Structure 1
Amino acid sequence: MRFKFDKSSSFKIGDVNVFFVTNASADTLQLPHLLQTESEDVKETLQLYRKDSLGKFGEISVITVKAQGGLKKFIFCGIGEAKDLSKLQVQELGGIIASKLNACKLEQANIIIDGKETESQGELFAVNIAEGIKLKNYCFDKYFKDKKETNKLYLKEITFYTQYTNLEALFSEREKIIDSTNFTRDLVSEPANVLNPEAFVDVCKELEALGVKVTVLDKKQLKSLNMNALLGVGQGSNSGTYVVTMEWNGAKDQKDSQPIAFVGKGITFDTGGINLKPSGPSISMMKYDMGGAAVVTGLIRSLASRKAKVNVIGAIGLAENMPSGNAQRPGDVVTSMSGQTIEVDNTDAEGRLLLSDVMWYTQETFKPKIMIDLATLTGAIVIALGHHNAGLFSDDDELVSQLTKAGLNTGEKVWRLPLGQCYDELINSNIADVKNVGKDGAGSITAAQFLKRFVKKGCIWAHIDIAGVVWLDNGGKLSPRGATGYGVRLLNEFLIQNYEPK
């Protein structure tokens, strides 16, 4: 969709006009400033819009008025107490507006940002509204045929009228991040018969056109590197197993400095292997078990698109966890790239096996100062946190603080859970160095403790379990139902606030 930004002085009533009102302006039935010059008939009709609660945050009223020789729609959006609005709340207002315009089957609208209602946000009010609209105005309709019309998004163009200038440049940076968020949503939404490991590799290679250095390791190369934990996960599938690294060197003057690395789990479909998952919704949705890899790929795409001045490594492991005569068995022992031996107590705890080798390879090859892994790792995190927060694990308080703040700013929230020796002891094996599942509960924590064993001394590390936030059946305030694209905005905010030059 297209966004335009124009001066308030250029505003003329269009077919659809969106205004913002506060609680106070609703109580006194004041009209926005730019409507004060309209004819008395128009003003009198508009004064009839709701008298009791319009102006409350997120409340929408639509009035159709005959003006300037035709029917014009006036949409009033309540913003509550304007002085208290956060950046995220303004974006959520944009999502509400997008939903309303699509529900009314409207393709174009003028949004007027005028008067004291939005002064507390200044020039960023329009940009944040635009960001919320674009995030909400998404639909994965690739496979609809008969149902395409009923799932149609109508909204195509928004024109903002505001006193501020140069908003195009401000929004352009945000839009590149949103485009990559939608790119990630597309990846997570694709069925596993389309997006298998080979197809995912091809998607990564397309980033080379943006200046990203992409390296692909296949089974033969993984074997030579002793990445047997990863290879064991994919050995039951007819598809290949791969590691893909994506290098974005945006800080040319700091090329020799240690990069920041993001590692993603890319199980393109997870049956559970020999420990087969039960039938039902749980297994049918396991196409999104590559959500961590999708986020990392989307992040690298966004950094390259906006030419971010930071050096970042994206590393993903790609495999398919299938049951077959060649599949890994419960009780098998594999030797990881690190040299540590792993007892595979449960083949459905495959993501941590994949990550153990990819994390070790990333540290060996790129020597990152910070490494953050993202994975749809455990169902236990959904039980603990539902679909409102991702689980965050780290021993570094500063990194936790940075990620938590970035989550609050974007609405992609994280919640810190504990690590500790008492949990680490739960994954000790009687016949190997470690086993891939613990006992006595704490499933998400023992998974994180497993990963911690593959973090080298001196590397600052965090693990983010996104199993509960990568997909929302009923959608969210800034996302439609289905894939959320969670993580792309979070990690961009994390980098912008802490590691990119101001």
Structure 2
Amino acid sequence: MPKPLPIQFQATDLAALAGQKGRIAVLSEPGQPASPAFRRLDRLTKGALGRAAASEAFGKLKPGEALDLAFPPGIAAEAVQLIRLPKKADQAQARKAGAAVGKTHGAAGSLVLAEAHPRAADIAFGLALRAYEFDSHKTGEKTVPGPVTLMAARPEAVARAAAPMAAVAEGVFFTRDLVNEPANVLTTHDFAARLAAMQELGLDVEILEEEDLTRLGMRALLGVGQGSESPAKVVVMQWHGGPKGEAPFALVGKGVVFDTGGISIKPAAGMEEMTMDMGGAAVVAGVMRTLALRKARANVVGLVGLVENMPDGRAQRPGDVVRSMKGDTIEVINTDAEGRLVLADVMWYAQERFKPRGMIDLATLTGAIIIALGHENTGVFSNNDDLCNAFLAAAKAEGEGAWRMPLGEAYDAKLKSRIADMMNVGGRDGGAITAAQFLQRFVKPETPWCHLDIAGTALLKSDSTLAPKGATGWGVMALDRLIRDRFER
């Protein structure tokens, strides 16, 4: 699996500019004094850099955007990227600037002249995130990315600031890899094995098999996977970085490795994207990896329910009634509303076993949230203003779009069943809300809880600022930030 590019941090060496064979990125801003590196490159390129910086095209760029000078005269570099970035740039602008380098990084390598920029670590982080590529299943000769060197006035200080960001980047990559994998590779067996391998990072990992789930009474979850050859599993990952005996914070993820819709089968067009229906579990896994890599000083437990929703002769039918671990009965109206059945049992198990100080679940749960919010924001539902506001603040700080959606008793009426305690769907109108309302029935009153519907943000059909098209890794940065800000001392 790909890992973030290693970045070397070095003191600024103006003498090395002429011989750099890859790409050189230099920061500038109209109206600000030229940096020493800029002046050196301008002389080497016989004034080409200065003319580019004075051009109308550069003046129209937004902070973080780049203008390329291909094969400039006087130096060996294949290109010089002139990136507009003021000294007072914010975090998002600095990461965007780094992403401009990462997007074009190639075999010859990249040299980034950050000099004394206060956001140098964020520039490196943006570069690492955008340089991601998922090519595990492509044959033929592959381009090996060249080295990345970031030159700064105080390289040791920048390296220290960048170290925890490198752990986050690896967690994001892990999440993206999982979401991008095809379902014939990422079976429930393979998924569980990849999580079990994280024991070498210091996580305690436990895999609950179908017999364990049957004994626990997780029949809502088991019903989803009963039509598949891949057995259902629940994986529990624990990170013990906080005070001994302190209740953990819980993260719960939906891990449907492929979703045909079951007997309520989906249309063929676009079904190939349902390899991403385990996106919630992937984010939980990426966060847990990040916490272990950066040795987070908090107690966190991540639980994921892994199933495959297939329509064979044993598959769950519309009209079936299943009993959850909690004991409530559920009439299955639509077998394609399966994620909430998985989460209901795993969330209840998390609360029964760990008595968490709070809980957040993540799921690619509804198409309705995409209708409501598009692909810019994750839908956030919560029973606790304090936790919800803390998460929204963390998401905003990390540039990950999130928007709070309503809950309310009036929506419960839509889930009323004639023959069971509830139905698993409540109709098309307010579909994302009734799904969250369903999940809230499996949250104990004393548990602060947020539900994150990431159906619109987990995978994109076009590039974003920090990721190529495909899996985004949305949520790893925000949740890591929440844990750092709220639970670590």
| TM-based fold match above 0.5 | yes
CA distance in 2, matches of 1:82, 1:161: 14
The equivalent residue for 1:111 is: 112
CA distance in 2, matches of 1:44, 1:192: 54
Aligned pairs for 1:442-461 within 5 A: 442-461=430-449
1:78 aligns with 2:84: yes
- CA 1:473 to 1:42, structure 2 compared with 1: closer, same or farther past 3 Å? closer
CA distance in 1, matches of 2:26, 2:42: 18
Q: How many percent identity over aligned positions? A: 41
Check conservation: 2:46, 2:73, Cα contact below 8 A. Answer: no
- Between stretches 261-270 and 397-406, larger displacement belongs to 397-406
Aligned pairs for 1:55-94 within 5 A: 55=59, 56-57=61-62, 58-62=65-69, 64-67=71-74, 73-79=79-85, 81-83=86-88, 85-94=89-98
Q: SS where residue 245 of structure 1 aligns?
A: strand
1:438-491 deviation line (CA, Å, top 9, x unaligned): 025100000000000000120000000001111111121000111111111111
1:260 aligns with 2:274: no
1:224 aligns with 2:209: no
- CA 1:65 to 1:497, structure 2 compared with 1: closer, same or farther past 3 Å? same
The code of the aligned residue for 1:260 comes to F
The equivalent residue for 1:176 is: 167
- Unpaired runs of at least 5, structure 1: none
The code of the aligned residue for 1:182 comes to F
CA distance in 2, matches of 1:153, 1:138: 12
1:463 aligns with 2:451: yes
CA distance in 1, matches of 2:319, 2:72: 72
- CA 1:445 to 1:11, structure 2 compared with 1: closer, same or farther past 3 Å? farther
- CA 1:92 to 1:153, structure 2 compared with 1: closer, same or farther past 3 Å? farther
The equivalent residue for 2:27 is: 20
CA distance in 1, matches of 2:78, 2:293: 39
The code of the aligned residue for 1:215 comes to E
The equivalent residue for 1:189 is: 180
1:203 aligns with 2:194: yes
- CA 1:463 to 1:12, structure 2 compared with 1: closer, same or farther past 3 Å? same
Q: SS where residue 267 of structure 1 aligns?
A: strand
Instruction: Report the CA distance between 1:287 and its aligned residue.
Output: 0.8
Instruction: Report the CA distance between 1:274 and its aligned residue.
Output: 0.6
Check conservation: 2:332, 2:424, Cα contact below 8 A. Answer: yes
CA distance in 2, matches of 1:153, 1:416: 42
- CA 1:259 to 1:33, structure 2 compared with 1: closer, same or farther past 3 Å? same
The code of the aligned residue for 2:28 comes to V
* TM-score (normalizing by structure 1): 0.91
1:433 aligns with 2:421: yes
Check conservation: 2:254, 2:305, Cα contact below 8 A. Answer: yes
Check conservation: 2:68, 2:79, Cα contact below 8 A. Answer: no
Q: SS where residue 112 of structure 1 aligns?
A: strand
Q: SS where residue 23 of structure 1 aligns?
A: coil
Instruction: Report the CA distance between 1:398 and its aligned residue.
Output: 1.4
Find 2:236's aligned residue among 228, 245, 259. 245
The code of the aligned residue for 2:184 comes to N
Find 1:382's aligned residue among 332, 345, 370. 370
CA distance in 2, matches of 1:233, 1:38: 61
1:13-67 deviation line (CA, Å, top 9, x unaligned): 2424321111324xxxx64333446796745343332522415321313264444
1:214 aligns with 2:228: no
The equivalent residue for 1:276 is: 265
- CA 1:366 to 1:64, structure 2 compared with 1: closer, same or farther past 3 Å? same
Aligned pairs for 1:394-405 within 5 A: 394-405=382-393
Q: SS where residue 16 of structure 2 aligns?
A: coil
1:335 aligns with 2:339: no
- Deviating beyond 6 angstroms after TM superposition, the runs of 4 or more aligned structure 1 residues are none
1:364-399 deviation line (CA, Å, top 9, x unaligned): 000001010000000111111111111000021111
The equivalent residue for 2:347 is: 359
Check conservation: 1:36, 1:43, Cα contact below 8 A. Answer: no
Check conservation: 2:102, 2:129, Cα contact below 8 A. Answer: no
Check conservation: 1:137, 1:153, Cα contact below 8 A. Answer: no
After superposition, the CA RMSD in angstroms is 2.0
- CA 1:209 to 1:106, structure 2 compared with 1: closer, same or farther past 3 Å? closer
1:294 aligns with 2:298: no
CA distance in 2, matches of 1:343, 1:72: 63
- CA 1:144 to 1:458, structure 2 compared with 1: closer, same or farther past 3 Å? same
Instruction: Report the CA distance between 1:82 and its aligned residue.
Output: 4.3
Check conservation: 1:2, 1:157, Cα contact below 8 A. Answer: yes
Instruction: Report the CA distance between 1:349 and its aligned residue.
Output: 0.3
Instruction: Report the CA distance between 1:126 and its aligned residue.
Output: 1.1
The equivalent residue for 1:7 is: 11
- CA 1:450 to 1:159, structure 2 compared with 1: closer, same or farther past 3 Å? same
CA distance in 2, matches of 1:366, 1:412: 29
Check conservation: 2:114, 2:150, Cα contact below 8 A. Answer: no
- Between stretches 460-469 and 11-20, larger displacement belongs to 11-20
CA distance in 1, matches of 2:182, 2:41: 53
- CA 1:418 to 1:218, structure 2 compared with 1: closer, same or farther past 3 Å? same
Q: SS where residue 133 of structure 1 aligns?
A: helix
- CA 1:389 to 1:155, structure 2 compared with 1: closer, same or farther past 3 Å? farther
- CA 1:269 to 1:482, structure 2 compared with 1: closer, same or farther past 3 Å? same
Check conservation: 1:5, 1:162, Cα contact below 8 A. Answer: no
Q: SS where residue 165 of structure 1 aligns?
A: helix
CA distance in 1, matches of 2:203, 2:385: 31
CA distance in 1, matches of 2:70, 2:78: 8
CA distance in 2, matches of 1:36, 1:445: 57
Find 1:98's aligned residue among 90, 99, 102. 102
Check conservation: 1:382, 1:468, Cα contact below 8 A. Answer: yes
- CA 1:63 to 1:259, structure 2 compared with 1: closer, same or farther past 3 Å? same
1:161-217 deviation line (CA, Å, top 9, x unaligned): 334532222212111110121111111111111111111111111111111111111
1:33 aligns with 2:36: yes
CA distance in 2, matches of 1:34, 1:186: 37
Check conservation: 1:219, 1:242, Cα contact below 8 A. Answer: yes
The code of the aligned residue for 2:188 comes to P
The equivalent residue for 1:490 is: 478
Check conservation: 1:338, 1:360, Cα contact below 8 A. Answer: yes
Q: How many residues align?
A: 478
The equivalent residue for 2:50 is: 47
